[in-house]
Structure 1
Amino acid sequence: MRRASLNLAFIWHMHQPDYRDSSGVMTMPWVFLHAIKDYYEMPWLLTRFPGLKATFNVTPPLIEQLNLYRDPLANDAFLALWIKPTEQLEEHERAWMVKMCKSTQFETMVRPLPRYAALFHRDDYSHAQLLELQLLFMLAWCGNYLRQHSSVVKKLLAQQDAYSQRDKHALLEELTSFVATILPFYAQLQKSGTIAVSTTPYNHPILPLLLDVGNAKKANPHTTLPANPLSLEGDAVEQVRRAIALYQKTFGTDPVGFWPAEGAVDERSVGIYREHGLKWIATDEEILFRSLKNSAREDLYSPYRFDGVTIGFRDHGLSDLIGFTYRFKPADEAAEHFIRSVGGIASGKAERTVFVILDGENAWEFFENNAYDFFTALYARLKSSDGLQTVTMNEVALQPDQPTLPHLAPGSWIYGNFDTWSGHVEKNRAWELIYQTRRDADHHGGGVDPETAEKIRFHFLAAECSDWFWWYGDDHATDFAEEFDALFRDHLIAIYRLLGMQPPADLFDPIITQKGRDAFLTYPQSAVSPIIDGKESSFFEWLGSGMVDESKGYSTMDRVRGPIEKIHYGHDEEQVYLAFEGDTEMLRTKGCMLVVTIEENGRQAVVPMARTLQDKRLAFAFDERPELALSREGFLGLDVFHLRFEITHGDEIIQTLPGYGSLHIDMNETYAEHWFV
């Protein structure tokens, strides 16, 4: 490997949970949708710039479900309904089909297809309109590679309407043939040295919690552990063993490294990886800082050795810029910002290695053009940058003179702890159900035949997937929470039935209480006209305002959310009002700027957070908290618009708000439905 002043190691994590129910049928289509949009396209984008390299982490549930699309109608419940003539759908099937077809990101995926946008907000559909909605939904998910190379996709996109059942069949045949090329493409690129392919323990479990759920308390002494825990160390080892076997079968070689699910590590899990021949793993920067005493930021930019395994530590800030911030910037501006940020790391030391690790699929639907423009601009700059080279993690593992860690703190890529998967009453309840099911299986499972025993083992491993725990509790929300909850409990119910036992009644009761966007977003109930003085002068002046709770997430991803925890917002006839709560004192002392952007016209206001401002465009005050008023006449100039906010310090983007996208403002809203007498 050629030596450079800066090595940039990308790891793109490709993962979907196992959507198969107890009958083996996938109950949700996200594997298929990301397959036609992302899984081929991401490595293909890299190949357009010869010499660039990256690591792609492909998880076992994803591999197994991609292989099921050899027979899509037998294995995917959504596609089996999607292909049916719309007049043959039952009412509940139509309702679910409409829900799925409206789950697409509107601004970036629906709006670019005018007919899809016209149909999207309807409440009811004729048979012909529903067929159009179904086809446009699928076409919206087709990525740039398909739009450039598939004659079927290009023809149907140009057609835009008047679709037929024959068009459905032609599109499904084209897409399933395409999906079959994805894993061979990865194998080919790995063989050529363009990419390295890693994987994750079999069902994407939090391995340290399987080994000892007490790791949750070691990472956060204030957390609450589930009752009556069991060590599931045997399952932890089995998760690693099965992942390696599937990798060997898929790619014809042994894996060199793993991205542990959610970057979750502890010392014992590293030992298991070493015992199974793995050379490297990766996790988050917070783990390094907790592991090293008196650590500095510059300590991050090197691989380390622990127990004979190389560990790369993720630069959380750079990774989050790509995953959460650059979607709101023009492609060239975002790419240039990234190169400047990386360039600052390169200065002052002979050689450094920067680890940029993030989800390789879910972020791009929030970018224009599925991030094609961003990656084209970024990769072009990386290709031409002096003193910087992209490397695979397999190459990083060979770097000499890696410093040794004396200790590895337990934790994950989210806040360096395990709170996303344990501690909350719902998360702990899920663990307690696993423990109880394991006790019952150990007590009653001695007489089952080997085939049944294997099915039971599979359902245990599937129930240990991190994704179920992600949606329990109040830290994340999704419109598909009920479906995720049902899938988790279905695995445990299946175990009892395989044992010939009646499942306990509580397995049929939903665990989850948070259902969707309302978990973190409260809409305004009335007009407000507060005084912009930087403090909550009166309870009543913001009464009726809306509120965004940034401490919760509406996403399959997560990030370091930043100092602002809540946004209060509302308007009257003349102005939009905003107030920000959180660690606001840091913003004042650091000399940060607040950048306000109107998405519809690109107009911006840049407000120094240490100053009070008052003009015809805006008013800003910061006493106890930052408060802002934007004038309809002097600045906004629109009736309906979307606002974005950035907290910046120099070139550093500390936080983007709201975390879920943009704040919708309708100046014509009268809130008449909330009036009463």
Structure 2
Amino acid sequence: MLTLNFIWHMHQPSYLNEDGIMHMPWVFLHSIKDYFDMPFLVSKFENIKATFNLTPTLIEQILLYEEYKTEKDKFLILLKKDTKDLTKEEKNFIIKICKSSPYKTMVEPYERYKELYQKDILNNKELLDLEVIYLLSWTGNYLKENSEVVKELLKKGKNFTSEDKNSLIEELINFIPKILPFYKKLQEEGKISISTTPYFHPILPLLIDINVAKEADKNIKLPKNPESLKEDAILHIKKAKKLYEEIFGIKPNGFWPAEGAVDEKSIFLYIDEDIKWIATDEAILFKSLKDNNRKNLYKLYNHKGIKIVFRDHNLSDLIGFVYKFWDFEKAVNDFITHLKNINNNFENSIVSVILDGENPWEYYKNNGKDFLNKLYEEISSLDFCKTKTMDEILSTEPKNLENIKPGSWIYGNFNTWIGDEEKNKAWELIFQTKRDFKHHLNELNEDTIKQIEEEFLKSECSDWFWWYGKGHFTKFNLEFDFLFRNHLIKIYKLIGLPVPSNLYIPIAKSKNIESFVMEPKSYISPVIDGKETSFFEWLDSGLIDEEKAYTTMQKQKNIISKIYWGEDEENIYLRLDGDIKKLKGSKINIFLREKNLFSLNTDKNVYEDDCIKMAINEIVEIAIKKKCINQQLVYFRIEIQKDNNILQVLPGITELKINLNEDFKRCWFV
């Protein structure tokens, strides 16, 4: 019998600034869309169980909405204003938030939202409509089906009034207090298990000893003048346990270490706090065993008194990053096929599927409801598979694991959170602040020390380092930077010291999508031979630099690092650069949105038919005849597939949109 272990990780960083206001609205938005809907979907199926990991930072902010309603959320405070009373800066903030949603799945289904999304300047009436339709787009399926207020406003569609907006906000904010009691009820019924994470979601091994990053990657560049933050690491675990007991009435059995980050020293901190289980990524297991045989993955392990499961990276990332592009029935069938293959090859497997329980769904049609309902329905009917909670899995006889190598769920190292200029600068500011705090510790009273400890814990959240430097793109990187530095600024104010000037200087460089996407400048007609035949043949093409904009779905560094594209009167041209040798034995699948147009075998150096020609040598070059597309605006997506696994999705952060009516007049000059 195969045991399927879903762990849905629910996490948001603390958006609280020193003014006590949450400066970003994502806890509220996911509360009305995901935090109730996800356990509700599980509760509908008799044979489905799951584990939900609720982070303390998330729980505390949900409690703020319960107690203060809209008073602690900057976005909601502004939304409650009449649009004519907003300053220009306030309007720009609201519009930026309202235009940050994925277009295809959250904007396009609403006619009024589509219309307003395209406009650069909005009058007060249009802004009011945008505010309301944005909230409606984020409203989850449970509320859409059960709230009369939501149903009436969806039916109305546009020309909303201030009364409409205020009644919607009240309806949504009054829904939030249902969330945490619902989790508690399901746990008491044995339907779910609830685990948690160290308090402010830190990379615990880095707090204990920053040098562990070099053990995971010997080439990494470490921050200067480090300080051990081990006492903070212990506090993160103790405070998380305390909050969990207050909310759920029992002690937590399990922790999902933030980002699956583990090492020997951090694991002993969990053991010291009587934690029964943790989970991390398969890369850690294979490094620890020095054996990549997948039969080792599907087991429960015991390491020096604590139980550990290891995440199936491929299955988890298929849900997190790939299936959102597929028809939901095809996606479910693919997932079930993977389960059957595992069951046929490995006896009594424990398959751990661990991923975000909130962030993928806005990229799925219907917020993932169709996919999840079908997935749970199909799993319920399998005679070889049973879902269990982690608390139930603990009764399984474990296999002994002698040692644990350090790393996280991304590449099995810590490079996502340390090692480049911006990330290291953030660490160095924490170390600087910690040293200054220690120098003045004896001058401070107990209450002030506790406040300062809290600010340190907040500054150590993994999310700040995630967005700094290379690796990830967000329109809100400057806002995240502001929140991070303000925690350290507040510490100096609490100590009574002048704030160092470097804390007022932004760490994050302003990023936008133009930094890694360049549009075509003119027609091109390259020779399709797999080589850069001349310097000029791709000179006027468009370019997406995947190295600057890579996602985290891959188990290893991207195979394809750059995508070029362009067109002439007859053809659309694509070029892929990267580690082309690694393409051997794979397929290049080219999709027009969800329709699979071509599946190209890379074992052939040249392929040609009536619609497409591909050549592979030093680069991959592809020509697609426009007559075979028969559309004026096309959205391409490319998947690199090998042995039924998706190795890379291209582009990784935007869509490859090609306008076949483009005349390139915008590029002319005289």
**Deviating runs (4+, > 6 A) in structure 1?**
554-559
The alpha carbon displacement at 1:615 in A equals 3.1
Match of 1:37 in 2: 33
Give 1:50's match in structure 2, choosing from 46, 52, 61: 46
Match of 2:244 in 1: 247
How far apart, CA to CA, are the structure 1 residues paired with 2:474 and 2:48?
Answer: 36
CA deviation vs aligned residue, 1:442-481 (integer Å, no higher than 9, x gap): 1123222222221111110000000000011121111101
Return 407-416 or 344-353, whichever deviates more. Answer: 344-353
Match of 1:493 in 2: 489
Q: Secondary structure at the match of 2:307?
A: strand
Amino acid of the residue matched to residue 608 of structure 1? N
Give 2:134's match in structure 1, choosing from 128, 133, 137: 137
The alpha carbon displacement at 1:560 in A equals 5.0
Q: Say whether 1:327 aligns with 2:350.
A: no
Q: Secondary structure at the match of 2:536?
A: helix
Match of 1:191 in 2: 188
Match of 2:75 in 1: 78
Note the residue ranges of structure 1 that are not aligned, 5 or more in a row: none
Amino acid of the residue matched to residue 649 of structure 1? K
Match of 2:613 in 1: 619
How far apart, CA to CA, are the structure 2 residues paired with 1:431 and 1:653?
Answer: 34
Q: Secondary structure at the match of 2:442?
A: coil
Q: Say whether 1:68 aligns with 2:61.
A: no
Match of 1:630 in 2: 624
Report matched runs for 1:658-669 at 5 Å.
658-669=651-662
CA deviation vs aligned residue, 1:601-654 (integer Å, no higher than 9, x gap): x35112222222223311111122221111111x21111110111222353333
Q: Secondary structure at the match of 1:313?
A: strand
Q: Say whether 1:230 aligns with 2:221.
A: no
The alpha carbon displacement at 1:558 in A equals 7.5
Match of 1:447 in 2: 443
How far apart, CA to CA, are the structure 2 residues paired with 1:519 and 1:50?
Answer: 49
The alpha carbon displacement at 1:561 in A equals 6.0
How far apart, CA to CA, are the structure 1 residues paired with 2:227 and 2:553?
Answer: 29
Q: Say whether 1:88 aligns with 2:82.
A: no
Q: Secondary structure at the match of 1:236?
A: helix
How far apart, CA to CA, are the structure 2 residues paired with 1:69 and 1:554?
Answer: 34
How far apart, CA to CA, are the structure 2 residues paired with 1:643 and 1:537?
Answer: 25
Distance 1:557 1:465, change over 3 A: farther
Q: Say whether 1:208 aligns with 2:202.
A: no
The alpha carbon displacement at 1:320 in A equals 0.8
Instruction: Note if contact 1:620-1:627 (Cα within 8 Å) is conserved in structure 2.
Output: yes
Amino acid of the residue matched to residue 59 of structure 1? T
Amino acid of the residue matched to residue 257 of structure 1? G
CA deviation vs aligned residue, 1:365-385 (integer Å, no higher than 9, x gap): 111100111111111110001
Instruction: Note if contact 2:295-2:346 (Cα within 8 Å) is conserved in structure 1.
Output: no
Report matched runs for 1:181-580 at 5 Å.
181-400=178-397, 402-553=398-549, 560=556, 562-580=558-576
Return 178-187 or 578-587, whichever deviates more. Answer: 578-587
Give 1:608's match in structure 2, choosing from 579, 598, 601: 601
Match of 1:670 in 2: 663
Match of 1:649 in 2: 642
* RMSD, matched Cα: 1.5
CA deviation vs aligned residue, 1:91-134 (integer Å, no higher than 9, x gap): 11011111111111111011111111111111111111100000
Q: Secondary structure at the match of 2:345?
A: coil
Note the residue ranges of structure 2 that are not aligned, 5 or more in a row: none
Distance 1:561 1:327, change over 3 A: farther
Instruction: Note if contact 1:529-1:541 (Cα within 8 Å) is conserved in structure 2.
Output: yes
Instruction: Note if contact 1:282-1:312 (Cα within 8 Å) is conserved in structure 2.
Output: yes
How far apart, CA to CA, are the structure 2 residues paired with 1:470 and 1:72?
Answer: 29
Q: Secondary structure at the match of 2:537?
A: helix
The alpha carbon displacement at 1:549 in A equals 2.5
Amino acid of the residue matched to residue 614 of structure 1? E
Amino acid of the residue matched to residue 542 of structure 2? G
Report matched runs for 1:138-177 at 5 Å.
138-177=135-174
How far apart, CA to CA, are the structure 1 residues paired with 2:571 and 2:230?
Answer: 59
Distance 1:649 1:558, change over 3 A: closer
Please report the TM-score for the alignment, with normalisation by the length of structure 2.
0.97
The alpha carbon displacement at 1:583 in A equals 2.5
Please report the TM-score for the alignment, with normalisation by the length of structure 1.
0.96
Distance 1:579 1:156, change over 3 A: same
Distance 1:290 1:352, change over 3 A: same
Q: Secondary structure at the match of 1:24?
A: coil
How far apart, CA to CA, are the structure 1 residues paired with 2:351 and 2:386?
Answer: 10
Instruction: Note if contact 2:70-2:173 (Cα within 8 Å) is conserved in structure 1.
Output: no
Distance 1:185 1:561, change over 3 A: farther
How far apart, CA to CA, are the structure 1 residues paired with 2:191 and 2:514?
Answer: 44
Q: Secondary structure at the match of 1:271?
A: helix
The alpha carbon displacement at 1:307 in A equals 1.7
The alpha carbon displacement at 1:562 in A equals 4.5
The alpha carbon displacement at 1:520 in A equals 3.0
Amino acid of the residue matched to residue 318 of structure 1? L
Distance 1:488 1:67, change over 3 A: same
Distance 1:174 1:352, change over 3 A: same
How far apart, CA to CA, are the structure 2 residues paired with 1:603 and 1:13?
Answer: 31
CA deviation vs aligned residue, 1:409-434 (integer Å, no higher than 9, x gap): 00100000000111101111100000
Distance 1:519 1:10, change over 3 A: farther
Distance 1:188 1:556, change over 3 A: farther
Return 139-148 or 345-354, whichever deviates more. Answer: 345-354
Instruction: Note if contact 1:196-1:393 (Cα within 8 Å) is conserved in structure 2.
Output: yes
Amino acid of the residue matched to residue 282 of structure 1? A
How far apart, CA to CA, are the structure 1 residues paired with 2:624 and 2:346?
Answer: 46
How far apart, CA to CA, are the structure 2 residues paired with 1:450 and 1:640?
Answer: 64
How far apart, CA to CA, are the structure 1 residues paired with 2:526 and 2:381?
Answer: 52
The alpha carbon displacement at 1:350 in A equals 3.0
Instruction: Note if contact 2:201-2:461 (Cα within 8 Å) is conserved in structure 1.
Output: yes
Give 1:123's match in structure 2, choosing from 120, 125, 130: 120
Q: Say whether 1:594 aligns with 2:588.
A: yes
How far apart, CA to CA, are the structure 1 residues paired with 2:366 and 2:292?
Answer: 40
How far apart, CA to CA, are the structure 2 residues paired with 1:648 and 1:434?
Answer: 42
Q: How many residues align?
A: 668
Instruction: Note if contact 2:543-2:562 (Cα within 8 Å) is conserved in structure 1.
Output: yes
Amino acid of the residue matched to residue 521 of structure 1? V
Amino acid of the residue matched to residue 475 of structure 2? D
Q: Secondary structure at the match of 1:542?
A: coil
Q: Secondary structure at the match of 1:613?
A: strand
Q: Secondary structure at the match of 2:572?
A: strand
Amino acid of the residue matched to residue 440 of structure 1? D
